[in-house]
Amino acid sequence: MPEWPPEWLETDIAIVGSGGAGLMCALHAATADPELKITIVSKGAVGRSGCTRMVQGGFNAALGAEDSLEAHFRDTIEGGQYLNDQELAWTLVCDAPGVIDELETRFGCLFDRTEGGAIDLKPFGGQSFDRTVHRADQTGLEIMGRLRDQVLRIGAHELEDWRALDLLFDVHGELSGLTVLDTQSGHAAVLLARAVVIATGGSATMYRIAAPAREKTGDGMAMCYRAGLPFRDMEMLQFHPTGLVAGDSALTGSVLEEGLRGAGAHLYNRFGERYMERADPIRLERSTRDVVARASYTEIVEGRGTPSGGVLLDISHLGADEIRRRFSGMAARTLLVGADLTTGPVEVSPTAHFHMGGVVIDQDCVTEIDGLLVAGEDAGGTHGANRLGGNGVAESTVYGARAGDTAAALVRDRALYLPDDRLVADSLDQAYAPLRRSTGLTPFELTDRLKHVMWTHCGVVRSRGGLLQAREELSDLASQLTRIAVPGPKEANPAWQQSLDLASQITVARLIVESALEREESRGAHFRSDHPERDDDRWLRAVIAERGPDGNPSIGTRDVEFTRLAPGGRAVACETA
């Protein structure tokens, strides 16, 4: 069924993903060399899909008079419980103020300002100073709208509604580009590129309650895994504390932003107890996401949650007018599920949200494969064991910009390499296989099973027994992929696309479970009920996962390097990152 030979396309830089990282990459590469041919491969609408546009809260940057780069760095490292790659974290905090300036003065973003004209900074959990730049509670829409406008100006070639399938290499192992698939027509192509940038985002949609855009299914991570790249800290999957509870609605799991808790929202169980007084009596609801999510989860599983399996978030004491002024988007979102944030409590639950783990990179997004860069949520190390709210969109834009600069320099001296025909054939055969089967399983039933396995056995609280059960079930799910059959044509076939999504999700899920089994302690987002304490003596180590000779994950560890701040130490003065 795959067309042979496939269409061949050619570009200088192929960017896979069109969120904040992807678009910043394109803009920086075009600025560095306007003559470059840049191609953006986007599973959805370019700049109007993915998760950056869904960012509500804001962008962390040390801009306040009393704030500093050192304070932002310390908060990031302490929030990450010292598991961070400190050079990545330092680069993030040092570059963030400049990126805010660039977003405003070069790309035209309009962030909220105080009456005196300074950029308004709101409080977020785990931060020693208010440092979250925002546009009300729709910051992502503001950033992505402006970046999208600028990308239209540079004339990048857009493969919209195309998905990336596999990285390609020539017969000597040189990166050649990738196979891509037009999800509307069903036609495949080979995209030759001098450099490839992976910026597709994570795969938290593998959980039953999840926050990300539904097109985020770990495709970039799965491609990198199959290509042999090492990953770090894949057990560190963040659960946002406040996802909406809305029954079978697609809005279940969608985030009510952290700024609500920063502004004074309270969390209650069904008995009216403000349980964060027990979980973190100092920071209360402004504690870090891992602490709040675990406290909420505990209330629910121990029977103190609501009948619908949630807890209650209440900010109505601020008054309806103030809530609508500061959180108009959140107020509108709750109305969609029959609740009203402005007048009373709303049901929420922890929701799978963000990968702190990912591909091992350096500060310029370089990987172990020449010509292949990774930026944004596909990369690991910046956030350690727990990401602070507001550091996510900062990471996407900071490292997207760096990836663009790096890619533009890289392609000056890198040739185009023709891919091994066997790799092209294998990639397309795998992709089209579900269409060739007349009978078999549907991807929908297997997807539901995956979501249940991950939520139940590798969720907010984990144990060895549950993780071993998850390992067994994921192995079985992986074997079932070869039995999926999807009816209908190749054109605009959602079942076929879901079968491809599922393959990526299972690949990433296995990395998460194997890494979680390896880390026998509790740290940040990773909580083991059978090892409930943080163990700095044994586990100030990154868990490294990569593809073994048999195709299954091979797991090891690597000491964390305290290049700037050791536990109990102090940050150094800022240097050029």
**Residues 198-221: what's their mean pLDDT?**
93
- The side-by-side arrangement of strands in the sheet containing 379-380 is 379-380, 358-360, 231-232, 541-547, 553-559
Q: Is 143 helix (H, G, I), strand (E, B) or coil?
A: helix
Q: What is the pLDDT of residues 421-455, one digit of tens each?
A: 999 999 999 999 999 999 999 999 999 999 999 99
Structural contact between residues 409 and 382, judged by C-beta atoms closer than 8 angstroms: no
Looking at 168-307, list the stretches that DSSP marks H as alpha helix, in order from N- to C-terminal side: 219-226, 259-262, 276-279, 289-301
- 545 in the same domain as 447: yes
Q: Does residue 77 belong to any structural domain of this protein?
A: no
| pLDDT score, position 576 | 44
| pLDDT score, position 1 | 60
Q: Does residue 303 belong to any structural domain of this protein?
A: yes
**Residues 360-371: what's their mean pLDDT?**
98
How far is the CA of 380 from the CAs of 262, 353, 562, in angstroms? 27, 15, 16
CATH number, domain at 481?
A: 1.20.58.100
CATH number, domain at 347?
A: 3.90.700.10
| pLDDT score, position 570 | 63
In which band, very low, low, confident or very high, does the pLDDT at 577 lie, cut at 50, 70 and 90?
A: very low
Select from 338, 353, 368 the last residue of a domain: 353
- 189 has pLDDT over 70: yes
Q: Does residue 6 belong to any structural domain of this protein?
A: no
Q: Does residue 299 belong to any structural domain of this protein?
A: yes
Question: Of 52-61, 68-77, 367-376, 539-548, where does mean pLDDT reach its minimum?
Answer: 52-61
Q: Does residue 525 belong to any structural domain of this protein?
A: yes
- 546 in the same domain as 444: yes
Structural contact between residues 166 and 432, judged by C-beta atoms closer than 8 angstroms: no
User: 285 CB contacts (<8 Å, ≥6 apart)?
Assistant: 125, 261, 265, 266, 267, 276, 292
- 347 in the same domain as 245: yes
Select from 337, 353, 369 the last residue of a domain: 353
Tokens of 540: 């100030």
Q: Does residue 466 belong to any structural domain of this protein?
A: yes
Q: Which domain holds residue 284?
A: 240-353
Q: Which helix (H) or strand (E) holds 192?
A: strand 188-198
Is residue 415 exposed (0-12), middle (13-18) or buried (19+ Cβ within 10 Å)? exposed
- The total number of structural domains in the chain stands at 2
- 444 in the same domain as 343: no
Higher pLDDT, 330 or 232: 232
Q: Which helix (H) or strand (E) holds 31?
A: helix 20-32
Which amino acids are annotated catalytic? 240, 261
User: 390 CB contacts (<8 Å, ≥6 apart)?
Assistant: 57, 58, 59, 60, 124, 127, 131, 132, 258
- Looking at the chain, the whole-number percentage of residues with pLDDT higher than 90 is 88
- DSSP classification of residue 574: P
Distance (Å, whole) CA 381 – CA 362: 9
| pLDDT score, position 257 | 85
Distance (Å, whole) CA 377 – CA 399: 10
Beta-carbon count within 10 A of 412 CB: 11
Distance (Å, whole) CA 327 – CA 313: 14
Higher pLDDT, 138 or 574: 138
Q: What is the pLDDT of residues 238-251, one digit of tens each?
A: 999 999 998 888 88
- 345 in the same domain as 252: yes
Q: Provide the b/e sequence for 265-294 (b: ≥16 CB within 10 Å).
A: bbbbbbeeeebbeebbeeebbbbbbbbbbb
Q: Which helix (H) or strand (E) holds 240?
A: strand 237-244
In which band, very low, low, confident or very high, does the pLDDT at 574 lie, cut at 50, 70 and 90?
A: very low
Structural contact between residues 188 and 2, judged by C-beta atoms closer than 8 angstroms: yes
Q: What is the pLDDT of residues 377-412, one digit of tens each?
A: 999 999 999 999 899 999 999 999 999 999 999 999
Q: What is the pLDDT of residues 87-136, one digit of tens each?
A: 999 999 999 999 999 999 999 999 999 999 999 999 888 899 999 999 98
- 531 has pLDDT over 50: yes
| pLDDT score, position 42 | 97
| pLDDT score, position 56 | 76
| pLDDT score, position 571 | 53
Select from 353, 377, 404 the last residue of a domain: 353
Q: Does residue 86 belong to any structural domain of this protein?
A: no
Q: What is the pLDDT of residues 288-318, one digit of tens each?
A: 888 999 999 999 999 999 999 999 999 999 9
Structural contact between residues 154 and 30, judged by C-beta atoms closer than 8 angstroms: yes
User: 476 CB contacts (<8 Å, ≥6 apart)?
Assistant: none
Higher pLDDT, 171 or 573: 171
Number of DSSP helices (H) and strands (E) in the chain, helices first: 16, 19
Structural contact between residues 571 and 74, judged by C-beta atoms closer than 8 angstroms: yes
Question: Of 8-17, 170-179, 253-262, where does mean pLDDT reach its minimum?
Answer: 253-262
Structural contact between residues 540 and 560, judged by C-beta atoms closer than 8 angstroms: yes
* The dihedral sign for the CA sequence 183, 478, 4, 371: positive
- 185 has pLDDT over 90: yes
Higher pLDDT, 539 or 248: 539
- 343 in the same domain as 245: yes
Distance (Å, whole) CA 199 – CA 204: 15
Q: What is the pLDDT of residues 468-508, one digit of tens each?
A: 999 999 999 999 999 999 998 999 999 999 999 999 999 99
Q: Does residue 10 belong to any structural domain of this protein?
A: no
HSE-CB at 162 with a 13 A cutoff on CA atoms is: 25
